[in-house]
Amino acid sequence: MSANSRLTIAAHALTWIGLYQRRGHEVATSEQIATSINTNPVVVRRMLGELRKAGLAVSRRGAGAGWMLARDLAAITLLDVYRAIETGPVFALHRATPDPECVVGRGIGPAMTAVYDDVEAALCRELAKTTLEDVLRDVLKAA
C-alpha cells in the first residue's frame, strides 16, 4: 500500500503561491506551481479546484489568469487543507460485512471504530497546530 501524498501536494501548492505573492506577483499559474511540485499542471488544477471550493484559493480567468490565496498563510492550518482534500476517514472497516456468527467478525467493527476515532481526533489536533505560515518558515529555514 502506498502512502497518500495529497496533503503534501496541496500544502506545497498553497505555500508556493503564498511565497510567490509575497515576492510581488499577483497570480500564479498551474504550470508554475506544477514545476515546483514536479507534477502535471492538470494535477495542480484539480487540487486547486478542491482548495477553491473550501475557500483556501481563488482563481482568475482570462488575461492574467492564475491562482491566488483566499486567506493569508497564517490563517490556513494543515487541518483546513486536510479537510478540503480528504473527504473520507483515515481508516475504513471491511468492505463486506464480516461473519456475524464469528466472535471476531461480530466485534471487530466496534473495537476498531473506537481506535480509529481516537486516531482521527489526534490527527486533527496535530494538523490544527500548524499553519502554512509555519510551513513556509520551516521551508525557508531549510533552504
In terms of Cα–Cα distance, which of 101, 98, 120 is closest to 109?
A: 98
pLDDT at 138: 97
pLDDT at 10: 97
Q: Are 46 and 55 in contact (CB under 8 A)?
A: no
pLDDT at 1: 58
In terms of Cα–Cα distance, which of 5, 65, 63 is closest to 30?
A: 65
* Global confidence as pTM: 0.90
Please give the average pLDDT of every successive group of 10 residues along the chain, which has 143 residues. 84 98 95 97 96 96 92 98 90 92 95 95 97 98 90
pLDDT at 68: 97
